[in-house]
Amino acid sequence: MEYDAIVLGAGHNGLAAAVHLASKGWSVAVVEARDIAGGAVKTAEVTLPGFRHDLYAMNLSMFAGSPFFARHKDDLVAAGLELVPVANCFANLFRDGTWLGVNTDLDRTAQAISALSPDDAAAWRALVARFGVDAPHIFGLLGSPMPSVAAAKTVWKAWWQLGSGWLADTARLILSTPRAFLSARFKHPHVQTMMAAWGMHLDFPPDTAGGALFPYLESMANQSFGMAIGRGGADTIIRAMVAVLKAKGGELITGTSVTGLEMVGKRAKGVRLADGRLLTARRAVVSNIHPTRLFGSIVGPRQVPQRFSEGMARFRPGPGTMMIHLATDALPEWAAGAELKSFAYVHVAPDMAMMTAAFAEAAAGLLPREPVLVVGQPTAIDPSRAPDGKHVIWIQVRVVPAEIRGDAAGHIGETDWDSVKEVYADRVLDSLETYAPGLKGSVIARRVLSPLDLERDNPNLIGGDNLAGSHHLDQNFLFRPLAGYSRYKTPIPGLYVCGASTWPGAGTGAGSGFMLAKMPAGV
């Protein structure tokens, strides 16, 4: 069969590219190896019937604020997409039994900070005001191909409006460690820690260069705009995109993988599928497959220049992630305060020393003694995800090793994840029990997904890396996935790449798929 474009991988970036190309009148087929679309955005009843768990991504704020959603909002909403706004966005727990959180009511957030430090409350308000100035330019840069005329225009406009000082300050922000950026602005360690915890969602412990930007943007965006989750589950965006794609004449082919690239001369002109079919593409083959997978098994090393092949082989994954999904009789009874039950995220990251240690232990191949936890409480905002009076709890363990060499606590002797995951999940829940007494007693059922399980379900999540590649500075911006190839093209004419391994990286913003599909040249 012949199409204008064939998209490999039905993650949200691949679907975004397909939807936008179809809206331009292209005939499009999306090929997905799994039986269902979604990639790292999936919702399923993995514990008990009626309990819908977001297997990986839960926070859809980036999607809600994305240019892709703005462009296709009417079609997506008509196709059933529903987002639920969140006012109580995130909170952080501390060792002294207290907590600090961010609510969209600025006065309320500032009052809580003022109880710790009036100077920090003033600094928080000042940073919110700065964000109002920064946001159009920073998000404009994040929403432009890298490099591009659009990116250059964004920088020029910022210089024209705000001057060289603003450019210097923003460059310093992009290069800074979380600790350096936060300690320069806030006095109280609780305020610094609350923001620094966002760095652990990527692969930025407190003292890693390039890690300040994400905590700044997430904290300020939550304060200014709130958070969003999907009604009934994060897969609301996937189901809607698939419906819009089909309504525009596109096709979704599931349950079969791509085994090879079909070439005509030196140009990619289609793909061969595991079920024997040959699909041809008049204009483009767009891959939402991790580039090390694409150029390691589907495309042979002799089909691309040696420098490119070697660069792709060196593309470094981020640390591993474990997911624990609980079906419970109740929300956690947080010892620090009942108000915590209303927050979408509760970070168990009580100080920067703990974050630093957990990351270092995982990087060394050790199971962290005290892991950083992101506890999601989606049924506090969207009760439709569980039977009446019941709840689902979403626990992301950040970070853990992809391959276990030992246990930092010295208690676990096994080194394979299939043997270790339930035992380590017990450690996680024991740790969480100290902050939420009685939680274990409320658990009806649980499902533990190790880094190995994540990769089994989605080969893009190599070693359980839910980022599809480290975001450290040597693999970000112009270097994602490789210097000279950050604009989605590859050395093979007609073959393009998108997804979290490409600029602007991980998250649910559909940035790379949409930017690729909008490009006037090539695709």
Beta-bridged to residue 510, according to DSSP, are none
Q: Is 394 left (phi over 0), alpha (psi -120 to 50) or beta?
A: beta
Last residue in a domain, options 191, 220, 249: 220
Last residue in a domain, options 220, 244, 269: 220
Q: CA 134 to CA 174: how far, in whole Å? A: 12
Considering the domain architecture, whether residues 299 and 325 belong to the same structural domain is answered as no
Q: Contact, 406 vs 369, CB < 8 A?
A: no
Last residue in a domain, options 175, 198, 220: 220
Phi, psi of 346 (to 5 degrees): -125, 115
Considering the domain architecture, whether residues 184 and 297 belong to the same structural domain is answered as no
Residue 91 lies in a domain: no
Quote the Cα angle for 341-342-345, to 5°.
Answer: 85
Phi, psi of 401 (to 5 degrees): -75, 145
Number of domains in the chain: 3
As a whole-number percent, the residues of the chain with pLDDT over 70 amount to: 99
**Tokens in use for 160?**
């024209």
For 277-319, write each residue's pLDDT tens digit: 999 999 999 999 999 999 988 998 889 999 999 999 999 999 9
User: Amino acid letter at 61?
Assistant: S
pLDDT recorded at residue 523? 59
Residues whose CB falls within 8 Å of the CB of residue 156, separated by 6 or more in sequence, listed in order: none
Residues of the domain holding 165:
106-220
The tally of CA atoms less than 13 A away on the side-chain side of residue 355 is: 30
Phi, psi of 370 (to 5 degrees): -135, 95
Considering the domain architecture, whether residues 321 and 440 belong to the same structural domain is answered as yes
- Mean pLDDT within 167-174: 97
Considering the domain architecture, whether residues 348 and 437 belong to the same structural domain is answered as yes
Considering the domain architecture, whether residues 117 and 196 belong to the same structural domain is answered as yes
pLDDT recorded at residue 470? 97
Q: Is the pLDDT confidence value at 521 over 70?
A: no
- Give just the sign of the alpha carbon dihedral 407, 410, 411, 415: positive
**Tokens in use for 51?**
């309990």
Residue 51 lies in a domain: no
Q: CA 121 to CA 8: how far, in whole Å? A: 48
pLDDT recorded at residue 379? 98
The per-residue DSSP string of 209-252 comes to TT-SHHHHHHHHHHHHH-EEEETT-TTHHHHHHHHHHHHTT-EE
For 11-49, write each residue's pLDDT tens digit: 999 999 999 999 999 999 999 999 999 999 999 999 999
Considering the domain architecture, whether residues 238 and 216 belong to the same structural domain is answered as no
For 394-404, write each residue's pLDDT tens digit: 999 999 999 99
For 332-352, write each residue's pLDDT tens digit: 999 999 999 999 999 999 999
pLDDT recorded at residue 520? 65
Residue 499 lies in a domain: yes
Considering the domain architecture, whether residues 145 and 249 belong to the same structural domain is answered as no
Residue 46 lies in a domain: no
Residue 100 lies in a domain: no
For 60-70, write each residue's pLDDT tens digit: 999 999 999 99
Considering the domain architecture, whether residues 321 and 308 belong to the same structural domain is answered as no
Model confidence at 420, pLDDT cuts 50, 70, 90, reads very high
pLDDT recorded at residue 302? 86
Residue 50 lies in a domain: no
Q: Which helix (H) or strand (E) holds 394?
A: strand 391-400
Distances (CA, A) of 407 to 356, 357, 401: 16, 13, 10
pLDDT recorded at residue 301? 82
Considering the domain architecture, whether residues 452 and 321 belong to the same structural domain is answered as yes
Q: Is 130 left (phi over 0), alpha (psi -120 to 50) or beta?
A: alpha
**Tokens in use for 327?**
């079906």
